Chains A and B, each alone.
Chain A
Amino acid sequence: MADGTVRLDGNCLAGPLSEILAVEPTTAWWRCPECTRSGPLAGLHVYGPEPGLTVRCPGCSYIALRLVREGEHIWLTVGGGSGAFRFSTA
């Protein structure tokens, strides 16, 4: 984006995740397996939006999830590893 990289928080994931989740996700509770900090998805740090959204623990930057929109697909990893799920949204 022309504004450069913007770091937001998990509140902004409500729209993108609504395409693949049936339940509103920003109140979901998450505990970091690395530093044990816990809290709602809304409080996580989000980097992006391009090339994709990377969602990290505010305490230690551990990756909670990653999300990429590609055409009519949404790619999602839970955690920072590979093995993404590819959802069709069309």
Chain B
Amino acid sequence: MPWRRVRLVERRSQTPSARSLVFAAPGWPGHLPGQHVDVRLTADDGYRAVRSYSLAAPADGESIELGVQTVPGGEVSPYLADDLPLGADVEVRGPLGNWFVWRTEQPAPVLLVAGGSGVVPLAAMIRAHHRTQSRSTFQLLYSVRTPDDVWYRDHLADGDPRHDVRILYTRQGPPAGTRAPGRVGRSDLDGPASRLQPASPVYVCGPTGFVEAVGDLLTDMGRDPATIRTERFG
């Protein structure tokens, strides 16, 4: 997979520490929702750093959107989030990965479970589904610390009757919230899981500890581990 130069054309803040970056990618071949790219940065002295970032939007011609969460003290993410100038180039290779993807022809209802910035590839899936005529339903459980940490508010509130988005707060919820803040638990998963078919795919993305905890809960609830697809970071 060759490296290609892409140009930063738009930067939007999603949260105080998260950015959507849109790049112009001439010749981009398109991609599946859930896929990622590797981004390569090169310093003046030739030093290179490579990191993986999920594609945040469905295929859209020669434009690609990434989601970047700043890791304090990180080598790459603070640079991409705030320092890379508009109009400047970086190298990417992709699209990458055929495992953690949703294909529009899949008919079964889908459950997405996101922890923090793990929402990025799942947002691409839900946005791709919104464009289809598929009768399948999408449920998203999205775990964040506080209301300030929610990415993609507009896309998640898309009004699509086939979509059910629930935001779960771990530290502090909104004033009118009825669920006490806390980690995703069995009681959060029971309802959504009951609306799935046995073969329904469940996509879980987030920090390692989150993904493992949710995966364990789902298998304890009797879901076939082969239907659970995970992507973890950090």
Chain A residue at minimal CB-CB distance from B75: A2
B74-A2 in contact (CB<8A)? yes
Encoded as 1 (CB less than 8 Å from any A CB) or 0, chain B from 81 to 114 comes to 0000000000001101111100000000000000
Is residue A24 within 8 Å, beta carbon to beta carbon, of the partner chain?
yes
Report Cα–Cα, A19/B96, bound state, in Å: 12
Partner-contacting stretch, out of A9-17, A60-68, A79-87: A9-17
- B residues neighboring A (CB under 8 Å): 1, 36-38, 49-50, 52, 71, 73-75, 93-94, 96-100, 208, 225-226, 229-234
Which residues of A are found within 8 Å of B73, using beta-carbon distances? 2-3
Which residues of A are found within 8 Å of B96, using beta-carbon distances? 14-15, 18
- A residues neighboring B (CB under 8 Å): 1-3, 6-12, 14-15, 18-19, 24, 26-27, 39-43, 49
A26-B233 in contact (CB<8A)? no
Q: Is the interface of A mostly helix, strand, loop or mixed?
A: mixed
Chain B residue at minimal CB-CB distance from A2: B75
Which residues of A are found within 8 Å of B94, using beta-carbon distances? 15
B98-A27 in contact (CB<8A)? yes
**14 pairs, A vs B, C-beta closer than 8 Å:** A2-B75, A3-B71, A3-B234, A8-B208, A10-B99, A11-B97, A11-B99, A11-B231, A14-B98, A15-B52, A15-B93, A26-B99, A42-B100, A42-B229
Which residues of A are found within 8 Å of B98, using beta-carbon distances? 14, 24, 26-27
Which residues of B are found within 8 Å of A2, using beta-carbon distances? 73-75
Which residues of A are found within 8 Å of B52, using beta-carbon distances? 8, 11-12, 15
Report Cα–Cα, A19/B40, bound state, in Å: 14
B93-A9 in contact (CB<8A)? no
Which listed residue, B1, B231, B232, touches A19 by the CB 8 Å rule?
B1
Give chain A nearest CB distance to B93 CB in angstroms.
6
Which residues of B are found within 8 Å of A6, using beta-carbon distances? 233-234
